[in-house]
Amino acid sequence: MYPSSCDTFVALPPATQGQRIVFGKNSDRPCDEVQEVVYFPARDYNAGEKVECTYIEIEQAAHTNAVVLSRPAWLWGAEMGANEHQVCIGNEAVWGRESAEDEEALLGMDFVRLGLERAETAQKAVDVIAELLEKYGQGGNCMEDQSGFTYHNSFLISDRTEAWVMETSGKYWAAEKVGVGYRNISNQYSITTKIDKEHPGMREYAKSHGWWDGKAPFSFAETYSFMTTARIEASGSRYCEGRNLLERSKGHITAETMMEILRDKESGINMEGMFMTTGSMVSVVPTDSTLPGVHYFTGTPDPERSVFKPFIFVKDIKQLKQTSSPSYGPDDPVKKIPRFQSKPDRKHPLFIKHEVVAAIIDSTKDKGKKIMQNMRVLEKEKMAEMEKLLSSGISVREW
């Protein structure tokens, strides 16, 4: 299967309006897949405890941060999310010279959650992912069926002060720091000669395979990508379109700007078809550590027909029941061997309501138009409320 999924963006001052980081991602997945939005509070663990990820069990950290995640409802990890320290992460599927592993290990989506749970900064998240990648590897089926859909992963990670792009091939990786401006990633390697952190054996491995002669300037993308670009042509188009959309708004990029980019169908960023945008996220994180970050999630397919709903980390957060899918525990077909022998109903309450509304929009022009207008009004009202918190903070009573 050719690359056909996901676009992730970040904008930093001076590209943004005000002293804020703006992060965004469209998660493009199989059109029948449900994406849920879930919250997990911070926790402490005893020495020696384990955590069961999507396919494998690994050592648990002594402490995990509070996280909010948008994830395919069948797996443990996440397509995108944020933690209480305002670290945001999104991942992308990438393919290259090195074959992706069918053998079950950590999924790229597991790394997203693990990075959020274990890191207080974007740079620390790079280190966490690198350490776990070295120890456990990446691999396994990335879809809820028996297709054997596998890939390597790239990550875009941001916090209050900077962003990092991390791209992997097997256990090898390179990372690029982004301090100002904007950056986006799609389903292709994009780190060239600006490499700020890397796997210590990454260059030698490439040299031993004849991918690099050891003399020319080392470009991670050129070295680890396919020799031909046909397989990444579609993602290349979306990558360029995304970069152009960011460039047009450079200097005044806001949450609204990012939402419009994610809703753009002409560019292919808001994807339709067998692979479609099944969930979207936009985060606004002030550089001022006294102010809260606001994380907007759709929790439903197609951001054009969805409302971006705000989430803020505060005390005593209740589980997000309207966007949480049914849990099947040990009876889940994902957990049974052989896996994926059946596919249970994973629709959460909001998803079910969204299906009804989407059908009305498709079938009734006037009523559908009115519904869309009301959705945008609601979204703008909530964003206006959030703007007050982004500018003035949260009072003790609100907290």
State in Å, rounded, how far the first CA of the chain is from the last one. Answer: 47
The number of residues in the chain equals 399
CA distances from 215 to 61, 203, 219, 221 (A): 41, 11, 11, 16
Q: What angle do CA 266, 250, 180 make, to 5 degrees?
A: 120
Sequence-ordered strand ranges (E) for the chain: 7-11, 20-30, 35-40, 43-44, 50-52, 57-59, 63-64, 67-72, 80-83, 88-94, 152-158, 163-169, 172-178, 182-185, 197-198, 275-286, 294-297, 309-311
For residue 146, give the amino acid letter: Q
CA atoms of 247 and 231, how far apart (whole Å):
26
Residue 6 known to be catalytic: yes
204 Cβ neighbours under 8 A, 6+ residues apart: none
Burial string for 192-222 (b: 16+ CB within 10 Å, else e) reads eeebeebbeebbebbeeeebbeeeeebbbbe
Active site residues per annotation: 6
